[in-house]
Amino acid sequence: MKKEELIAFVSEQAGITKKSAGEAVNAVIEGITSALEKGDSISFPGFGSFKVVERPAREGRNPSTGEKIQIAASKAVKFTAGATLKDRVNK
């Protein structure tokens, strides 16, 4: 599902215009992004949670040359599915 399809779905389900649905979807995405930027976690009971995890620096290899390279430490976003979401997907 693409963002445009999600906006159309929200519009239909909520009985609002696509413009209003688009603003709502954008606001939710911005809220999640802002919280993760601050290092906070986001939890939607039954759906899942998002959190920022630290990835340590490590040594890797260039796949084409086999040369050893240093991979810098970084942050990544991790999503963990909730029980209700897992159950619905596995039906």
Q: Which domain holds residue 74?
A: 3-89
Distance, in Å, from the CA atom of 33 to the CA atom of 19, rounded to the nearest integer, reads 21
- Each residue of 31-47: pLDDT tens digit? 999 999 999 999 999 99
Confidence (pLDDT) at 26: 97
Here the CATH number for the domain that contains residue 72 is 4.10.520.10
pLDDT average, residue stretch 57-82: 95
> Mean pLDDT over residues 36-65, rounded?
95
Pick the closest to residue 74 from 44, 89, 53 (CA basis). 53
Across 69-87, average pLDDT: 96
- N residues, the chain: 91
Which two structure tokens, joined as six digits, stand for 91?
């039906």
d(CA 81, CA 46): 8
pLDDT at residue number 83: 95
pTM over 0.85: no
pLDDT digits (tens, 9 = 90+) for 2-41: 999 999 999 999 999 999 999 999 999 999 999 999 999 9
Strand ranges inside 1-91, DSSP E: 42-44, 48-55, 58-61, 68-71, 74-81
Please state the domain count of the chain: 1
Question: Cα–Cα distance between 90 and 68 in angstroms, integer?
Answer: 41
Longest Cα–Cα distance in the chain: 57
- Looking at residue 88, what is its pLDDT? 95
